[in-house]
């Protein structure tokens, strides 16, 4: 079995140092603008920060993957090209991209730097992936979180590139790169601005008896009685009403995190060669615990031992976890 | 340039009888130039109408319409991959693709790119035009400024451009069926509960405010897009095709209103009044076009 690469989130320079020190094989990060899909205030890197961080990561033998994985709207491509050129100058090890125009730019101008196809490209078939490999020499695909392990195994047999899958963290329900719910409500686009449920448009409203409504833009996303923990108002994790269902329900999914720690051996056997931890928006403490736990787990599997998986439940959203689509088709 | 009016694929799970009636009326009465056929949302629905396509396509063609087959937006299963391969081998009809899987099969062929593909900028458009794409239907969330630049790019590249101007807007796709979920089921045993909601299943907030619309794996707007006010602007940009998403309301009347407005026979404001009189069960929106939250109406 090939030793998989543990790919870890680096939302800030300090988070990147933490991930490198905790044993990340690779870290992924982005610049402080719309060119990446976690364009949140207080996150991401300036050019100077990335320069120093790449040096530190490389000194620790950790690769740096630069996410340039949003979709530039017409007229704004220069910002994406600048991000790519800067990343190349700073010596990043790969670009993570979704847009065909951006992929083409990298393939033509930086053919020596690896290209990874972002989950935002939503390539869910061997044919789609083979197209990107043929056209842009993509070396790795990050699979959408919608496939079972047997399906991933079949995929691995059919495609001429590496497979990266998410193993832990936020569990988005919509196909990444194909969701404009946030733009419909807030006027900021996940695809074009790198924003999902922007904090500036979030409100928590308490009523007289202590119930808390969470709102995004002009709409209520959920409502919590005083004995419930209020979640962040992400549209696909809210509670709604529909005539076909009795009372309020999570129409898409409840607030829950993906945790595939017990499926790691199966994923590796299926041909997954890079294991991705989500969470560029999370704290250093989160990065340290999660990266450390998965570092140990992967090392013990490679040593032929039973993996010792630390309890990560406390770090999950809403303290609930799922194996999502990976375990069973019944998720769909 | 003569502007063209198009009918998008039917997004909802209508019965075969309803679809046959719909297309017969479109063929005979609607002033539309292009009709997109095909199941775009759920491969499980395809067997119900497959046998009727030839007959419907022939009727539409006799009615003077160009028929284009639109492919599935989400391709995962072996069955779905085979469907895409089959469509891509069709010689008799033009194809509109909605997932990148089709790009693999279409090397060296001409095709249209659907609005569920991510073409946001002139470089992506130019790349695909170089690979056989002749026509682009743009994602609905693109604002006016981007559409203007893409229209200019399309003109340079010698391809045509389509913008949705009416109907609920597709906002998200998922592997999970939310129709089945609302009924306590999953995709594999859904019993086609989506057939109950001919314009989609309403999803309201806990304040009972109308919010979104569910259609199987697809989430759409509750509001109906209405870009009558933008038509003059788009004509000036040389947008060639104007897309109407089919609903159960009188689509022949909708097509007549948009045709008359495109032809300057009625003003946009008068057309707006006629459209509002059609008993549409939701407010109109045009926020995306104005670079604002998509649900809003900018008057």
Written as one string, the DSSP assignment of A220-257 is EEEEE-TTSPPPP--GGG-EEB-TTSSS-EESS--S-E
- Residues A39, A96, single domain; the answer is yes
- Residues A55, A145, single domain; the answer is yes
Which residues does chain B have within 8 Å of residue A178's beta carbon, measured at their own beta carbons? 116, 118, 172-173
Is the model more confident about B101 or about A171? B101
Is the model more confident about A53 or about B2? A53
H or E element, residue A275: strand A274-277
| pTM of model > 0.90 | yes
Indicate whether A271 pLDDT > 90.
yes
Kindly list the distances between the CA atom of residue A126 and the CA atoms of A122, A144, B132, in Å, as whole numbers in the listed order.
12, 13, 21
| Encoded tokens for A126 | 């061997």
Selection from B226, B169, B168, B237 nearest residue B3 by Cα = B237
Residue of B nearest to A222 (CA): B206
- Residues A160, A296, single domain; the answer is yes
* Total H helices, total E strands in chain B: 10, 12
pLDDT category at A307 given cuts 50, 70, 90 is confident
What is the percent of chain B with per-residue pLDDT over 90, rounded to a whole number?
A: 97
| Encoded tokens for B240 | 């060639």
What CA–CA distance (Å, rounded) separates A245 from A315? 31
Residues facing residue A163 across a β-bridge: A141
* CB–CB contacts below 8 A, A to B: 226
pLDDT category at A327 given cuts 50, 70, 90 is confident
Quote the DSSP letter at residue B248.
S
- Number of domains chain A is built from: 2
Residues facing residue A170 across a β-bridge: A257
Is residue A230 a part of any domain in this protein? yes
User: Is B124 in contact with A101 (Cβ distance < 8 A)?
Assistant: yes
What CA–CA distance (Å, rounded) separates B6 from B30? 10
- Residues A148, A297, single domain; the answer is yes
What CA–CA distance (Å, rounded) separates A170 from A316? 8
User: Is B118 in contact with A191 (Cβ distance < 8 A)?
Assistant: yes
Is residue A84 a part of any domain in this protein? yes
B81 in reach of chain A (CB within 8 A): yes
What is residue B297's predicted lDDT score, i.e. its pLDDT?
98
Is residue A108 a part of any domain in this protein? yes
| Encoded tokens for A130 | 């083979």
Quick one: average pLDDT of A57-83?
98
Kindly list the distances between the CA atom of residue A108 and the CA atoms of A82, A103, A115, in Å, as whole numbers in the listed order.
14, 9, 12
What CA–CA distance (Å, rounded) separates A181 from A197? 9
Is residue A284 a part of any domain in this protein? yes
Q: How many Cβ atoms are within 10 Å of B198's Cβ, its own excluded?
A: 14
Judged by DSSP in three states, B223 sits in: strand
What CA–CA distance (Å, rounded) separates B257 from B231? 12
- Residues A266, A130, single domain; the answer is yes
User: Is B81 in contact with A332 (Cβ distance < 8 A)?
Assistant: no
Of the candidate ranges A140-154, B21-35, B121-135, the one whose mean pLDDT is the lowest: A140-154
pLDDT digits (tens, 9 = 90+) for B155-197: 999 999 999 999 999 999 999 999 999 999 999 999 999 999 9
What CA–CA distance (Å, rounded) separates B213 from B168? 8
What is the percent of chain A with per-residue pLDDT over 90, rounded to a whole number?
A: 83
Q: Helix A284-302 and helix A13-21: axis angle, to 10°?
A: 30
What is residue A308's predicted lDDT score, i.e. its pLDDT?
75
Quick one: average pLDDT of B105-128?
97
pLDDT category at A318 given cuts 50, 70, 90 is low
- Mean pLDDT, rounded, of chain B: 97
Quick one: average pLDDT of A301-316?
79
What is residue A317's predicted lDDT score, i.e. its pLDDT?
62
Q: Cα Rg for chain A, rounded, in angstroms?
A: 20
Q: With beta carbons less than 8 A apart as the criterion, state whether A305 and A32 touch.
A: no
Indicate whether A316 pLDDT > 80.
no
What is residue A231's predicted lDDT score, i.e. its pLDDT?
86
Quote the DSSP letter at residue B9.
P
| Encoded tokens for B114 | 């659907």
Selection from A161, A197, A77 nearest residue B153 by Cα = A77
DSSP A10-21: -SSHHHHHHHHH
User: Is B206 in contact with A241 (Cβ distance < 8 A)?
Assistant: yes
Which residues does chain A have within 8 Å of residue B209's beta carbon, measured at their own beta carbons? 219-220
- Name the residue among B124, B140, B219 with its Cβ closest to that of A100: B124
pLDDT category at B132 given cuts 50, 70, 90 is very high
CATH code: domain of residue A136: 3.20.20.70
- Residues A216, A95, single domain; the answer is no
Which residues does chain A have within 8 Å of residue B208's beta carbon, measured at their own beta carbons? 241
Q: Which residue has the tokens 């992924």?
A: A28
Selection from B175, B6, B178, B43 nearest residue A245 by Cα = B178
| Encoded tokens for B8 | 């998008």
Phi, psi of A102 (to 5 degrees): -70, -45
Is residue A156 a part of any domain in this protein? yes
Domain span at A185: 181-250
Residues facing residue A45 across a β-bridge: A31
Residue of A nearest to B101 (CA): A128
Judged by DSSP in three states, B287 sits in: coil
Is residue A176 a part of any domain in this protein? no
Quick one: average pLDDT of B108-114?
96
Q: With beta carbons less than 8 A apart as the criterion, state whether B85 and A109 touch.
A: no
Of the candidate ranges A69-78, A143-152, B110-119, the one whose mean pLDDT is the lowest: A143-152
> Which sign does the torsion angle of CA B80, B82, B87, B88 carry?
positive
Quick one: average pLDDT of B282-290?
98
Judged by DSSP in three states, A63 sits in: strand
B108 in reach of chain A (CB within 8 A): no
Name residues 168-197 of chain B within 8 A of A (Cβ).
169, 171-178, 181-183, 186-188, 193, 196
- Residues A12, A146, single domain; the answer is yes
A41 in reach of chain B (CB within 8 A): no
Selection from A285, A279, A274 nearest residue A18 by Cα = A285
- Name the residue among B100, B221, B291 with its Cβ closest to that of A131: B100
User: Is A181 in contact with B173 (Cβ distance < 8 A)?
Assistant: no
pLDDT category at A82 given cuts 50, 70, 90 is very high
Indicate whether A282 pLDDT > 70.
yes
What is residue A322's predicted lDDT score, i.e. its pLDDT?
86
Q: What angle do CA A295, A300, A302 make, to 5 degrees?
A: 95
Phi, psi of B114 (to 5 degrees): -80, 170
Tell the CATH superfamily of the B4-171+221-290 domain: Aldolase class I (3.20.20.70)
Phi, psi of B142 (to 5 degrees): -70, 130
A69, A125, A196, A248, best to mutate vs chain B, most B CBs in 10 Å:
A125
Is residue A231 a part of any domain in this protein? yes
pLDDT digits (tens, 9 = 90+) for B216-233: 999 999 999 999 999 999
User: Is B172 in contact with A249 (Cβ distance < 8 A)?
Assistant: no
Phi, psi of A241 (to 5 degrees): -125, 140
Final residue belonging to a domain, choices A202, A220, A250: A250
Q: With beta carbons less than 8 A apart as the criterion, state whether A318 and A141 touch.
A: no
Final residue belonging to a domain, choices A250, A278, A300: A250
Strands A212-216 and A202-206: antiparallel
Selection from B231, B247, B289, B239 nearest residue A183 by Cα = B289
- Mean pLDDT, rounded, of chain A: 93
B134 in reach of chain A (CB within 8 A): no
CA B20 to chain centroid, in Å, comes to 18
Name residues 268-287 of chain B within 8 A of A (Cβ).
287
Final residue belonging to a domain, choices A196, A227, A250: A250
């Amino acid at each position: 079995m090939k030793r998989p690469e543990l790919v870890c989130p680096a939302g800030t320079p300090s988070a990147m140092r933490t991930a490198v020190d905790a044993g990340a094989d690779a870290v992924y990060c982005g610049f402080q603008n719309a060119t990446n899909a976690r364009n949140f205030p207080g996150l991401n890197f300036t050019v100077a920060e990335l320069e120093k961080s790449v040096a530190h990561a490389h000194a620790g033998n950790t690769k740096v993957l630069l996410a340039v994985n949003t979709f530039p709207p017409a007229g704004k491509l220069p910002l994406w090209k600048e991000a790519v050129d800067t990343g190349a100058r700073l010596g990043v090890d790969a670009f993570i991209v979704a847009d065909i125009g951006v992929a083409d730019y990298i393939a033509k101008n930086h053919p020596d730097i690896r290209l990874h196809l972002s989950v935002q490209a939503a390539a869910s078939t061997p044919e789609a992936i083979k197209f990107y490999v043929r056209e842009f020499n993509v070396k790795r695909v990050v699979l959408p979180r919608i496939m079972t392990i047997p399906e991933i195994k079949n995929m691995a047999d059919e495609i001429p590139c590496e497979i990266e899958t998410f193993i832990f963290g936020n569990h988005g329900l919509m196909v990444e790169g194909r969701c404009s719910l946030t733009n419909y409500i807030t006027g900021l686009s996940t695809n074009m601005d790198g924003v999902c449920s922007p904090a500036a448009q979030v409100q928590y409203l308490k009523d007289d008896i202590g119930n808390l409504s969470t709102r995004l833009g002009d709409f209520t996303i959920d409502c919590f009685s005083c004995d419930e923990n209020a979640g962040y108002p992400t549209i696909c994790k809210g509670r709604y009403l529909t005539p076909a269902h009795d009372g309020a329900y999570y129409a898409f999914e409840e607030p829950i995190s993906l945790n595939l720690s017990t499926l790691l051996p199966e994923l590796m056997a299926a041909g997954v060669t890079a294991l991705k931890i989500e969470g560029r928006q999370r704290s250093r403490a989160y990065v340290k615990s999660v990266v450390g736990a998965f570092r140990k787990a992967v090392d013990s599997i490679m040593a032929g031992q039973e993996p010792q998986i630390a309890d990560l439940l406390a770090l999950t959203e809403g303290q609930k976890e799922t194996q999502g689509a990976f375990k069973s088709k019944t998720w769909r | 340039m003569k502007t063209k009016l198009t009918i998008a694929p039917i997004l909802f799970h209508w019965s075969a009888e309803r679809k046959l009636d719909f297309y017969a009326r479109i063929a005979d009465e609607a002033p539309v130039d292009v009709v997109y056929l095909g199941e775009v949302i759920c491969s499980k629905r395809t067997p119900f109408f497959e046998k009727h396509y030839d007959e419907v396509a022939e009727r539409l063609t006799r009615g003077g319409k160009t028929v284009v087959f639109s492919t599935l937006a989400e391709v995962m299963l072996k069955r779905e991959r085979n469907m895409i391969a089959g469509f891509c081998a069709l010689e008799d009809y033009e194809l509109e693709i909605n997932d990148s899987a089709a790009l693999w099969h279409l090397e060296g062929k001409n095709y249209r790119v659907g609005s569920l593909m991510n073409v946001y900028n002139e470089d992506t458009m130019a790349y695909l035009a170089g690979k056989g794409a002749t026509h682009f239907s743009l994602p609905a969330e693109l604002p006016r400024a981007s559409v203007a630049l893409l229209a200019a790019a399309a003109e340079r590249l010698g391809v045509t451009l389509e913008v949705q101007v009416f109907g609920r807007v597709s906002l998200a796709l998922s592997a999970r069926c939310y129709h089945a979920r609302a009924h306590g089921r999953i995709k594999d045993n859904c019993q086609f509960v989506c057939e109950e909601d001919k314009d989609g299943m309403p999803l309201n907030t806990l304040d009972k405010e109308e919010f979104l619309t569910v259609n199987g794996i697809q989430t759409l707007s509750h509001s109906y897009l209405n870009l009558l006010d933008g038509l003059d602007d788009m004509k000036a940009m040389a947008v060639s095709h104007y897309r109407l998403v089919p609903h159960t309301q009188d689509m022949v009347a909708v097509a007549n209103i948009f045709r008359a407005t495109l032809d300057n026979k009625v003003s946009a404001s008068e057309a707006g009044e006629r459209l509002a009189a059609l008993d549409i069960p939701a407010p109109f929106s045009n926020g995306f076009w104005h670079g604002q939250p998509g649900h809003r109406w900018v008057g």
